[in-house]
Structure 1
């Protein structure tokens, strides 16, 4: 693949394939440090494009990050974005259909749009992909389903969470592969005459811990939640299956002659969980330590961007302004992005520019600010200042050594937080669910001196 193209090719609006993994840890790809197994297709994607070293998820859990991705804004601007994750009130709080989104803005500019995979931004009949900019949807509305039964729970009385548009459907097969097959077919139906935007949102490697050869294990599960079953070998099979699925989709682009002018992005919705590798960071999903929010991120666009390793600090909400800029589409003036367009830095190989990013989680039990090399972190009543460039494990508290930095970042968080919807007791009650509860993780943090 070349990094240049003739003027007619460059002038064409790029296709976009946005691939989102679920709960993939920072070092779960071999190109990011996984040594127990390999991910050759994603490693190749990294070698052909941009590998980010300082990319963050907007939240430490999935649905909140997905609000930021689709709107380009901090999720705390929307009531549904406060749930973290959106579980018990998905029929009440979701992505408002009238809100401009990345797919709706591209669709209005002439793109074919599709979401294949996980939605998790509110349930029918009020919310859904077809109401928020996607022309086609195949996948699950909720947060997690079994890979073989395609149900969000165990038992014959539990309905499948698998839909074609807004109609329930049945399929046979391992879910990661089903999504790859659907995406491959959809790409095969495209032509160079009209650009397309494909959101391919896998549930892998989110629990339940079931690999592609584990159908009998799947049918025997008593609990789909993350503490039931699993081991490192099973997790490896899940990630390798994800890697294979991505390779299949990339091959489909090549077969259609669309690879050079297609932007491919691969990232995760938050940090890893039970079996993930997050070295050299600590922390995991639901925590604002680096392991809970720093995510592997790759981008390839051969006609415009040369292969490189980028140290640019970026967040999930940056993808809307960045991809719209690549497509020549303006964001909504009524809903300006909080994210930033990072395309100029990637195209010019310019040095990374400074960013300040903010997080909060679960009734402000956790809060964080990243500014330059420093990170302010609060967990319960414990406050820290870390140099996350030199101290990636977040062990040395520098609050007394650099009190001016500590106080500045603490004040900056308060000022930032005042702009957004508050996390009330009612939000906390709705946000708690059987699968994710902040209280489960507090002892882990306490054991680390947090």
Structure 2
């Protein structure tokens, strides 16, 4: 009788202990991982229709989670898009706009320190916060990510072409030949606030970044953490490690995307091995559309028109995949309108963090969409290029008031009667319906005028430059 009782007792104890990891996951505040590709186009993943680029890990991530078909970057180029993601605010509202489009080696400013980043928000909740990869929001010490809420940083302060090598393309672009640029400063690789290398071998950058992300997860597994993994790729110049180079039928661009896909797979595998997967929200996206002027070294927007540096769909509609086993229903394709500005308020809701109350946020909490409680949360989306509103989307309709081909030196075309497209029916923006729907034009024009006067434009931070390039120690 005593023996049977002991068996029952220890059997019950084993059941309790076997469920402890899951219980521990549910009791700890959720971990957050945001993975940001650089210049990845809407059509560059298998799960978004690319015929030859192999992305099995991201495809599986989409099958196990939610794939957004109408997810947008906060801007059409790198720097302002990253500002939008981290602050939940329009880049023009924060001053992250201007001639030149992005922060460079001679920039005298960065993301204003008065802004509240998602890292600063989560630190208030006791989160460990890490960034691995490209920052591109100010290279001077006072603007580095370690001054913007991140406990740890391993990566570059700006794009991977802002060094001594401009491109690996045989033809070159902008008339600049491939190869070294003698007068350019070296691309620095940082660990926290220290430069540990100059001109790191970019063939191995994705592997090094992957290891850094995994090590951060392992160090931080006993407390809630935020990992912002901002890859330098597939922005040119393109580099893949020997394990991937020459393997993709899409050429070097496909090699680079395939290695980025491998990197995501390693991170998800680590979460599962550490039994953190059911308490971790992972979101994958891109900072803007494909850099079309790079030709075969740039990506594809699929059926969308145009690319990076344009407010047509191809410039700002990007992949968006959300993954959280047990929380986000598997194999869901969502047509909900969503912007990367929505990530901050959505993460705040998920983590039960307090949003900054002393400023206007342009992002919207989309947690109800993620968890299947509502079909959509956002109705309207403005498309900015620098400080100007170029287009407005409301529901299925999009009106272009200004249009500009990506990286064209010409001034934008101004449309007295805006171009009107039904984006659901015509995502390629081929058929102007303005004459047929004057009421829709009038409604979107009101939204456009309202957007133009919704805030006072602050000075441009991007246009603040140093008298001469400075090198940091």
**Greater Cα shift, 204-213 or 121-130:** 204-213
Q: Does residue 179 of structure 1 match 2:205? A: no
Q: Distance in 1 between matches of 2:23 and 2:361?
A: 30
How far off is 1:160 after superposition? 2.9
Matched, 1:407 2:464: no
State the distance in 2 between where 1:93 and 1:146 align: 17
Q: TM-score, normalised by structure 2?
A: 0.80
Which of 321, 346, 357 lines up with 2:381 in the alignment?
357
Deviates more, 1:7-16 or 1:369-378: 7-16
Partner of 1:398: 433
Moved more, 289-298 or 148-157: 148-157
User: Aligned residue for 2:241?
Assistant: 212
Structure 2 equivalent of residue 114 of structure 1: 130
How far apart are 1:248 and its partner, in Å?
1.3
Once the two structures are superposed, what CA deviation does each residue of 1:344-382 show, in whole Å capped at 9, x if it has no partner?
Answer: 122134323451010221563x70111000001121123
Residue 145 of structure 1 and its aligned partner are, at CA, apart by 4.0
Alignment partner, residue 54 of structure 1: 70
Deviation string for 1:373-417 (max 9, x for gaps)? 000112112330100110111011111111121122123112212
Q: How does 1:407-446 map to 2 (within 5 A)?
A: 407-422=442-457
Structure-2 separation of matches of 1:8 and 1:251: 19
Do the aligned partners of residues 151 and 114 (structure 1) sit closer, same or farther apart at CA in structure 2, a change above 3 Å counting?
A: farther
Query: Are residue 201 (structure 1) and residue 230 (structure 2) matched?
Result: yes
Change (3 A) 1:313 1:282: same
1:90 to 1:355, Cα distance in 2 relative to 1, 3 A: farther
Q: Is the 8 Å Cα contact of residues 98 and 132 (structure 1) preserved in structure 2?
A: no
In structure 2, distance between residues paired with 1:423 and 1:32? 38
Distance 1:36 1:367 in 2: 34
Alignment of 1:45-444 (within 5 A): 45-82=61-98, 85-88=101-104, 91-145=107-161, 154-155=180-181, 158-170=185-197, 172=201, 173-191=203-221, 193-213=222-242, 232-274=250-292, 275-307=298-330, 308-362=332-386, 364=388, 367-377=390-400, 378-379=402-403, 380-382=413-415, 383-422=418-457
Match of 2:9 in 1: none
**In 1: Cα distance, 2:165 partner to 2:301 partner:** 30
Query: Taking structure 1 as the reference length, what is the TM-score of the superposition?
Result: 0.84
Any conservation in 2 of the 1:150–1:162 contact (CA below 8 Å)?
Answer: no
SS in 1 for 2:277: coil
Q: Post-superposition shift, 1:28?
A: 0.4
Contact 2:81 2:91 in 1 (8 A): yes
Gaps of 5+ in 1: 218-230, 432-450
- Calculate the aligned-residue CA RMSD, in Å: 3.0
Shift of the alpha carbon at 1:168? 0.5
Offset at 1:102? Answer: 0.3
Larger gyration radius, structure 1 or structure 2 = 2
The alpha carbon displacement at 1:421 in A equals 4.8
C-alpha separation in 2, matches of 1:216 and 1:347: 39
* Cα-to-partner distance string for 1:232-260 (whole Å, 9 max, x where unaligned): 41111111111111111112212222111
Report SS of the residue matched to 2:348. helix
Whole-angstrom distance in 2 between the partners of 1:115 and 1:406: 43
Cα separation, 1, equivalents of 2:461 and 2:86: 22
Contact persistence 1:150–1:161 (CA under 8 A): no
Does the Cα contact within 8 Å between 2:94 and 2:115 map onto a contact in 1? no
Residue 280 of structure 1 deviates from its aligned partner by 1.6
1:428 to 1:92, Cα distance in 2 relative to 1, 3 A: closer
Alignment partner, residue 444 of structure 1: none
Q: Distance in 2 between matches of 1:312 and 1:332?
A: 25
Give the Cα–Cα distance (whole angstroms) in 1 for the partners of residues 245 and 275 of structure 2: 40
Once structures 1 and 2 are overlaid, which stretch shifts more, 5-14 or 149-158? 149-158
Give me the whole-angstrom Cα distance separating, in 2, the residues matched to 1:71 and 1:305. 24
**2:278 match: secondary structure:** coil
Q: Residue 146 and residue 175 in structure 1: after superposition, are their counterparts in 2 closer, same or farther (change >3 A)? A: farther
| CA apart distance, 1:211 | 3.0
Aligned CA distance change for structure 1 residues 156 and 250 (closer, same or farther; 3 Å): farther
Structure 1 residue 156: deviation in Å?
6.1
